[in-house]
Amino acid sequence: MSNYKIETKCVQGGYTPGNGEPRQIPIIQSTTFKYATSEYMGKLFDLEASGYFYSRLQNPTCDSVAAKICEMEGGTAAMLTSSGQAASFYSVFNIATCGDHVVASSAIYGGTYNLFAVTMKKMGIDFTFVSPDCTEEELNAAFRPNTKAVFGETIANPALIVLDIEKFANAAHAHGVPLIIDNTFATPVNCRPFEWGADIVTHSTTKYMDGHGAAVGGCIVDSGKFDWMAHKEKFPGLCTPDDSYHGITYAEKFGQEGAYITKATAQLMRDFGSTPSPYSAFLLNLGLESLHVRMKRHCENAQAVAEYLEKHPKISWVNYAGLPSNQYYERAKKYMPNGTCGVISFGVKGGRTGAELMMKNLKLAAIETHVADARTCCLHPANATHRQMNEEELIAAGVPGDLIRYSCGIENAEDLIADLEQALAQI
């Protein structure tokens, strides 16, 4: 599949049926698998033979879908998780432990920020958050001797800041650590971070990949490009024997291409068990089959809506990297020449009250704490996700009281604009 274009990988990647086998990825809804001898079972447990034994660790349906996402990103190994949060957690915890440190962009999803700054901090991992637009000097100054990874988001949710992936990759590599990129909003259809130096990619597949609001899920993909053994002292978990797995040294046994995902499966999935259900993986695959078609329409609709709103007298500002007036327009063109995503944000004149009134009047756009869905939806963060903050705190968080996050679905753009028009006419 590796020579095919992204559209073909979306449709046919990850699963090639043999003679007389199901055309669609079969749902193997089985927790366990039968073997003829316990000697063979022993080999499976020693990771000497490959095969399925318990669906908490691996399942054929989930593996086929992970293999598709792996091909789409251009990686060497991948795993599905039960949510995007689990993917973010595993991606870092697989290489950083108590006493370690991680550099992260401050423009990341709120859930990821909490996971890093509060929960993982309690586990003894320190994070330094840097502005995505910091200088190279500021970025380099954030590293410590115990830094184990750098983390950022291609297009930050909800700030819609486009990351300079190359700048972050160069700094990570200069300090002998990998760059992990959350590529949820761009998807591999619009951006493939491995082509710009990222080493590991994570996804909340709940968003565009599923695309129909049907199943929560996540994915981690390894590029296979990071040389763990060259930085042996930093990554003992990958480069020294794992006593909890019969003394296996992952980087030796599974090589640069397979070590990271094998360890995440054999250790983290075994112990934390954030396993997706085979049925959810099947639904995710249905979404992936049309991802390339949907992303194009999401971007076209967002572009049309952003251009319309930018000219509207009742709108004070619009944030969308597809607008030439946007601070990230050039950077987005470099990393995402075919479009960014379908999410925009804007401010209504009349502040918080104006925003509330206008949203009440929308008929097509539903009020939801969700984004990146086939159906258009919107959210007023000051009233929902950021409700506990006062006006000053909201501004500091980059979420002013008048901000509306508007996620363009794949409906007709003229209908979406007419809906906004009638809602704005009433305020």
Ligand X SMILES: *Cc1c(COP(=O)(O)O)cnc(C)c1O
Residue ranges that bind ligand X, judged by CB under 6 A: 83-85, 88, 109, 111-112, 153, 157, 182, 184-185, 204, 206-207, 216, 218
Q: Is the dihedral of CA 420, 389, 328, 172 positive or negative?
A: negative
Report residue 59 as tokens.
């399942």
- Give yes or no for a contact between 380 and 404, defined as CB atoms under 8 angstroms apart: yes
| Integer angstrom CA distances of residue 367 from 36, 78, 241, 364 | 54, 34, 51, 10
* Beta strand ranges found along 75-134 (DSSP E): 77-81, 101-105, 126-130
Least distance from ligand X to the Cβ atom of residue 380, Å: 17
Nearest CB to ligand X, comparing residues 85 and 147: 85
Least distance from ligand X to the Cβ atom of residue 217, Å: 6
Helix (H, G, I), strand (E, B) or coil at 65: helix
Nearest CB to ligand X, comparing residues 109 and 196: 109
Least distance from ligand X to the Cβ atom of residue 108, Å: 7
Least distance from ligand X to the Cβ atom of residue 387, Å: 18
Q: Is the dihedral of CA 145, 149, 153, 158 positive or negative?
A: negative
Residue with tokens 């899920």: 217
Least distance from ligand X to the Cβ atom of residue 206, Å: 4
Least distance from ligand X to the Cβ atom of residue 230, Å: 30
For 317, list phi and psi in degrees, rounded to 5. Answer: -160, 155
- Give yes or no for a contact between 186 and 215, defined as CB atoms under 8 angstroms apart: no
Nearest CB to ligand X, comparing residues 94 and 256: 94
Nearest CB to ligand X, comparing residues 149 and 248: 149
Nearest CB to ligand X, comparing residues 56 and 370: 370
For 103, list phi and psi in degrees, rounded to 5. Answer: -100, 130
**By Cβ distance, which residue is nearest to ligand X?**
84
Distance CA 269, CA 90 (A): 9
Nearest CB to ligand X, comparing residues 404 and 423: 404
Environment class of 426 (CB within 10 Å of its CB; exposed 0-12, middle 13-18, buried 19+): exposed
Distance CA 90, CA 87 (A): 5
Nearest CB to ligand X, comparing residues 235 and 320: 320
What is the distance of C-alpha 353 from the center of its chain?
33
Least distance from ligand X to the Cβ atom of residue 403, Å: 16
Nearest CB to ligand X, comparing residues 186 and 261: 186
Helix (H, G, I), strand (E, B) or coil at 279: helix
Hey, which residues does 203 pair with through a beta bridge?
Answer: 219
Note if the bond before 158 is cis, omega within 30 degrees.
Answer: yes
Helix (H, G, I), strand (E, B) or coil at 102: strand
Least distance from ligand X to the Cβ atom of residue 374, Å: 16
Nearest CB to ligand X, comparing residues 111 and 255: 111
